Amino acid sequence: MRLGDEERIIGPGDILHIPRGTLHGGRTLTEKAVMFVAKSPAEDPDLGADHHYPDDLADIIKHLDAKAEELYGTV
């Protein structure tokens, strides 16, 4: 999971707070992920409007793939 400039591996039972406006993203390293997301305030009329892709998305994916291979072997 990327949260701002920090990267971390999260797993079952983990909780992650994403402050408003913080760049974030992630991918599964092994199997499909199941997650519960709560966004506040719930009455926000633009609930889905803040989804965006960073300009360096391809670089982020490449970096995360390399890190996953380093940690887990070929993924």
Quote the DSSP letter at residue 48. T
Task: Note the pLDDT of residue 34.
Answer: 78
Retrieve residue 36's tokens.
């519960």
**Predicted confidence pLDDT, tens digits, the chain (75 residues):** 888 899 988 888 888 888 878 888 888 888 787 777 777 766 556 555 555 667 787 888 888 888 888 888 765
Range of the structural domain that residue 36 is part of:
1-75
- Structural domains of the chain, count: 1
Of the candidates 55, 71, 61, the one whose C-alpha atom is nearest the C-alpha of residue 25 is 61
